[in-house]
Amino acid sequence: MANQSAKKILKQNEQMLKRALAMTVGFFLLYLFGRFYWFYSTTSKGHWFGLFVLILSNVVGFGALYLSGRATLSAEGETVSGDDLNAKGLTEYWWDLLYVSWFTEVTTLISDLFWLFYLVVPGFIIYQVWTNFVAPALATNTSGTGPQGENAKQRKMREKYEKKKSKMEQKLAARKN
């Protein structure tokens, strides 16, 4: 039964990768033809840099999806490897990178201001790093005055609790004797 599920995922991945490749190539060719044929007179060095960024993001995004989604079949017909391309997590981020690239390729033919849309990608990366790593690390030890950043009031309460605890332990020890 699990083998049927793996074969189903394999077929879905193949279809999704074929569709993604066709869209990536199609949008890229539209950008190339539009920018360097129709609007060649307005092409600048910045557009060449943008072309490099588009190539890089398309290759990285599609390449990561291809490498994670492709599967091989063993001699017995069982799926050896391949992740579900509909899965949550990192796979979603690779799809998002492709969507941003496709959007940018089409819309920059209308206005160069759409290049700013590419700032969504590093902005989201910075947001994720801050909320998942930096902010929690800063919140755990903010003052540095004691264990795990406790302040004077917390320290006094802890010491009071420890005194009560030691008195209770002494009373229990006295009762046993």
pLDDT of 160 > 90? The answer is no
Burial 18-38 (b: 16+ CB within 10 A, else e): eebeeebeebbeebeebbeee
Residue with tokens 């941003």: 100
Question: What pLDDT, in 10s, does the model give residues 113-139?
Answer: 888 988 888 898 899 889 888 888 888
Of 11-15, 62-66, 76-80, 161-165, minimum mean pLDDT range = 76-80
Task: Provide the pLDDT confidence category of residue 81 given band limits of 50, 70 and 90.
Answer: low
Distance, in Å, from the CA atom of 50 to the CA atom of 44, rounded to the nearest integer, reads: 10
In tens, the pLDDT along 52-77 reads: 989 999 999 999 999 888 876 667 76
pTM of the model: 0.67
Do the Cβ atoms of 91 and 85 come closer than 8 Å?
yes
CB atoms within 10 A of CB 134: 11
